[in-house]
Amino acid sequence: MSRPVHTLPKAHLHLHFTGSMRFTTLMELAQEQRVRLPHALVEDWPPKLAARDERGWFRFQRLYDAARACVTSEEAMRRIVREAAEDDAAEGSRWLEIQVDPTSYAPHVGGLTPALEIVLDEARRVSVPGRIGVGVIVAASRTRHPLDARTLARLAARHAGDGPGDVLGFGLSNDERRGHTEEFEGAFRIARKAGLAIVPHGGELLGPEAVRATLEVRPDRIGHGVRSVEDPALVAEIVRRGITLEVCPGSNVGLGVYATPFEVPLRTLYEAGARIALGADDPLLFGSRLDDQYEIARSVHGFDDAELTDLARMSIEGSRAPAEVRSDALAGIDEWLAEPTDV
């Protein structure tokens, strides 16, 4: 008998706001808004995506946009944060860093600032000491102008902090094949100056050269980064710099980056000494949540319980959680492993 992963304390560092939504919540919001969701999203959930080519990504983006179009009120925004926190807590997550680009919600709530402040306020409200804390990563989109990213970075910087309901980091998301990471250096510079964690996506749809470009903005963590495995010297550099890779196996398979969970190079990166924080990315579209990633590590990649605690520890250490959350979680991880299993 092995220990249940949902009681293993951990941090969740890669979860997008809209993508975190419960399927049932999306259905309810769509009904309220009288939005007709794409067939692929409602009839056969989770949808088949395979986005490694442009057409596949377009399909993913279309479904994502359809889901986002249902989020048109402060109430809906608060509900997403609240449910993400509840779902994370139920999976043993002690600390969630939810990633949001407030741009799409801004028109519905009176602008960028209120859009972000609603998310921050709800994150603070749902955080319960000893149970779950929620901080926020502001993410700019690669598909928009780098000046837009700077605007977002300035907004993020004004709300920078190190506790629940604060902006903790600044990211860059969306189609990696568009907008080179270096072009966003201006935004990252603003974020760095404010003390925010630098957490761009990279090395998901593109290979090692894209990860090398990402290193130019001096990331603390990289969203995905899995394809750095194609260049061992690059992996060594990531290890040397102590960068945490936010590895999301369910997402990689959902998007066709790898054909099967076994092909996700989790074991290789772990053996190379890379710091790894497992994440769910977009449960709404991939149909798998945080604990499913730990289950994949266990059942597909043969991680034993001690190795699972390594993953959990690295997720806490790679987070921006306050000191007391970290020490509580780390102690809880040791207790989890010390607990005898029924034989």
Residues with catalytic annotation?
204
Phi, psi values for residue 275, rounded to 5°: -80, 130
Number of H helices, E strands in the chain: 16, 9
The answer to whether the beta carbons of residues 108 and 101 sit under 8 Å apart is no
Nearer to Zn ion, 9 or 223 (CB): 223
The answer to whether the beta carbons of residues 204 and 224 sit under 8 Å apart is yes
Q: How far is CA 137 from CA 140, 155, 296, in A?
A: 10, 12, 26
Nearer to Zn ion, 101 or 281 (CB): 281
Q: At what angle do helices 232-241 and 208-215 cross, to 10 degrees?
A: 30
Least distance CB 173 / Zn ion (angstroms): 6
Least distance CB 28 / Zn ion (angstroms): 24
Nearer to Zn ion, 169 or 223 (CB): 223
Least distance CB 223 / Zn ion (angstroms): 5
Q: Is 302 helix (H, G, I), strand (E, B) or coil?
A: coil
d(CA 301, CA 290): 16
Contact residues for Zn ion, defined by CB under 5 A:
223, 281
d(CA 140, CA 99): 10
Least distance CB 176 / Zn ion (angstroms): 10
Least distance CB 54 / Zn ion (angstroms): 18
Nearer to Zn ion, 17 or 294 (CB): 17
d(CA 47, CA 108): 28
Q: Which residues contact 285 (CB under 8 A, 6 or more apart)?
A: 19, 46, 47, 49, 60, 63, 64, 67, 254
Least distance CB 9 / Zn ion (angstroms): 23
The answer to whether the beta carbons of residues 209 and 228 sit under 8 Å apart is no
Q: Which residues contact 233 (CB under 8 A, 6 or more apart)?
A: none
Residue nearest to Zn ion (CB): 281
Nearer to Zn ion, 122 or 281 (CB): 281
Nearer to Zn ion, 58 or 335 (CB): 58
